[in-house]
Amino acid sequence: MPKGIKRGTCLIAIDPGSREYGVCIFVNGELVAARVFVAKKKKDKTWVQEFHTTLADFDAWIHEYTERHGGKIEVACELPEFWSGGKGGIAARGGALVKLTFATGALIQVIESMYETEVSLYPPSKWKGQTTKAQVKTRVRAVLDKQAHDTPQTGRPKLDSHCWDAAGIGLYHTGRLWKGRASKVARAVVTRVTIHAKKTKTKKKGKMRLGTTYVAW
């Protein structure tokens, strides 16, 4: 069991989406299940009806694991956030943000109808900042690979698509995917990053800006 994780905890981590959403389940800090739910397009149904068809399956799948493992239920979910520039602004004007907000609320409603627990909400800017999907995948894999090395007897479910973000949200919630300024980090894992940044800054005569660095341990 990873350090700092309370025994008997079942965490449901959700990366919501209006058409597809990823869900990961951690038990005692270890990833035990992951799945992507898809709202398939149908000619005779509205988008709301299409999305609602996934909720019964989502409910049953979550219930299966929580019943099996028991313990305290925690939920971590990404909170929709408006990005004014580029694709974010275009998506918002096209109604995608409204749909995403609706989908997030529907998923939370299912969770709250099943369990008496608070849902921890994390906007993208808080848990992953400006990192790309590929960068999130790399950092999540680093944490999970270390976990697999420390506890080789536990198998790891395959992660696809939105499940990488869902896993990242779960790891952030439990303090294992950490966001901070590289210049202020004391941990050995980022020592090389800090030294490299200082050298680069000297070469460019102070013109370099240190961005946000994400560290997994």
- As for how many domains the chain has, the answer is 2
pLDDT at 179 over 60: no
For 27, phi then psi, to 5°, come to -120, 125
Domain with 36, as residue range(s), is 9-175
In this structure, are 106 and 182 located in the same domain? no
Q: How many CB atoms lie within 10 A of CB 147?
A: 19
* Radius of gyration of the chain from its Cα atoms, rounded to whole angstroms: 19
Q: Give 189's DSSP letter.
A: G
Distance CA 130, CA 9 (A): 30
pLDDT, averaged across the chain: 77
More confident site: 65 or 88: 65
Nearest alpha carbon to residue 124 among 136, 112, 134: 136
pLDDT greater than 90 at residue 173 = yes
Q: Residues 103-162: pLDDT tens digits?
A: 999 999 999 998 888 899 999 999 998 888 899 999 999 999 887 656 555 567 888 889
CATH code, domain with 165: 3.30.420.10
Domain presence at residue 4: no
Residue 212 pLDDT > 60: no
pLDDT above 80: residue 169 = yes
| 79 plus 183 within the same structural domain | no
Q: How confident is the model at residue 5 (pLDDT cuts 50, 70, 90)?
A: low
DSSP line for 25-49: EEETTEEEEEEEEE----TTS-HHH
What is d(CA 37, CA 43) in angstroms, rounded to the nearest whole number? 19
Contact assessment for residue 39 and residue 107, using Cβ atoms and an 8 Å cutoff: no
